[in-house]
Structure 1
């Protein structure tokens, strides 16, 4: 069975957190709702601005998406008259705009939760923003330059030549496959940020994460099977293996920021 954190210790930490947070300046329910409305409106404005910018650069973004197929000399086809309109003005600009606006949207999320944080926790703003954006871009970069071309070569060139089948790939199917894999790789690289964020508030501990590593492997492969765009084993492993490595990195980060370590450091000092 999984080794869950010690319940009495978790209760004590929760009581201490509640007691300490009671000293923070409070906000009424309507003030919270008004603040939430303000952050949602700002995020929507940033998303629209990102969409407008991405519309102008949609041809360049499409060329980037087409490049992996050009390397294996495959031409895309469209099966519906509206496919090109959907690609040019909806899919590419929306995804590109969301990526462009993501740092500003994350900042709005931080502004919403910042009033409930201690002063020492607010200093994690810059590392949090840098890690969240940087890891997403790193995951998308590795997916675009290594994972996605490798999968295309295996699924189209290698298997196609073995079976003697000529591929006819539609724009709709290719775009869905491309965006699912690239965005999925970017999202999986956020795992250390999520783990460190939970550890910072004492929700999980490095000891708990390490002792339940075998269960984490099972959960990671289940998640990878859900988010992978195709059911084949290479695609599954392409998602699962980086997630396992990132889980281990997250354990190291959890040890660094966990409240128990900070308390021991302060006691020694």
Structure 2
């Protein structure tokens, strides 16, 4: 931990020569990016609301494939369902534009040669999230429902409400989508020189332990198979992250430029 903190301090000091911005300039820039991000989100919600019935048909499909129906316990559940579907669907639609605003906010703190990563960053961020969401939708969610409903609840009568199922669905999809962003997090940590491939490889056993703890927390089923199913892609992504850290770490880029 001390090594990581020291590297972070060195990374900050190395960027002291970049063009500075006052606190008010930073706040003004943040306000501008937030406003534009909200506008994109609202536009995405409007588009998603126009197709909210089809969108929720996709959300409900893992349950209907098991010949189960949803129930509601409050008169406003149907309205809340439409609004939530529009919100999350709109957020996914607007995510490339929102991420671009994030990039524009942090761009002044990057060197010119580092700004070339904007399009790979956006493509990788959106792509990895969608890959994680698809993995959860295609494999984890259906198998989790089977185990929980027809396994542990085989002697019970399932009454699944809209609120409970939606929360369960989002926990799986968003949880795995976020976990698949690990290479992006490592990318930035390595880009700023905070971690490198050697550090990540040296601490791989601790990473494996942390990954299995995270998998146990976000896994919707209590069985070991479900935890392994969650942890396996995260382990693979961790080793991909080691390669990413090796490629973008400042020391490697400097050595490469000297060799050229």
TM-score category (smaller protein): over 0.9
For 2:184 and 2:217, how far apart are their aligned partners in 1?
Answer: 21
Question: By how many angstroms is 1:17 displaced?
Answer: 1.4
Matched, 1:246 2:243: no
Match of 2:70 among 64, 69, 76: 76
Match of 1:28 in 2: 22
Matched, 1:108 2:88: no
Matched, 1:206 2:197: yes
TM-score (norm 2): 0.92
What count of residue pairs does the alignment treat as equivalent? 260
For 2:166 and 2:229, how far apart are their aligned partners in 1?
Answer: 19
Question: By how many angstroms is 1:12 displaced?
Answer: 8.9
Contact 1:189–1:243 under 8 Å retained in 2 = yes
C-alpha change, 1:192 and 1:155, in structure 2 (3 Å) is same
Matched, 1:152 2:145: yes
Question: By how many angstroms is 1:67 displaced?
Answer: 0.8
Equivalent positions of 1:74-223 (< 5 A) are 74-89=68-83, 91-161=84-154, 164-223=155-214
For 1:214 and 1:3, how far apart are their aligned partners in 2?
Answer: 18
Matched, 1:67 2:61: yes
Question: By how many angstroms is 1:254 displaced?
Answer: 0.6
Contact 2:70–2:162 under 8 Å retained in 1 = yes
Match of 2:41 among 29, 47, 60: 47
Matched residue SS, 2:146: helix
* Runs of at least 5 residues in structure 2 that lack an aligned partner in the other structure: none
C-alpha change, 1:39 and 1:107, in structure 2 (3 Å) is same
Per-residue CA deviation, residues 165-219 of structure 1 (Å, 9 max, x unaligned), is 2322111111100011011111111001111111011010111111111111222
Contact 1:51–1:94 under 8 Å retained in 2 = yes
* Runs of at least 5 residues in structure 1 that lack an aligned partner in the other structure: none
Match of 2:11 among 14, 19, 30: 14
C-alpha change, 1:189 and 1:25, in structure 2 (3 Å) is same
For 2:88 and 2:68, how far apart are their aligned partners in 1?
Answer: 24
TM-score (norm 1): 0.89
For 2:70 and 2:232, how far apart are their aligned partners in 1?
Answer: 30
Across the aligned residues of Structure 1 and Structure 2, the Cα RMSD in angstroms comes to: 2.1
C-alpha change, 1:45 and 1:12, in structure 2 (3 Å) is closer
Per-residue CA deviation, residues 102-151 of structure 1 (Å, 9 max, x unaligned), is 11111001001111211100000011000000000111111111111111
Contact 1:3–1:208 under 8 Å retained in 2 = no
Contact 1:132–1:193 under 8 Å retained in 2 = yes
C-alpha change, 1:127 and 1:238, in structure 2 (3 Å) is same
Per-residue CA deviation, residues 9-28 of structure 1 (Å, 9 max, x unaligned), is x489437613xx41x33222
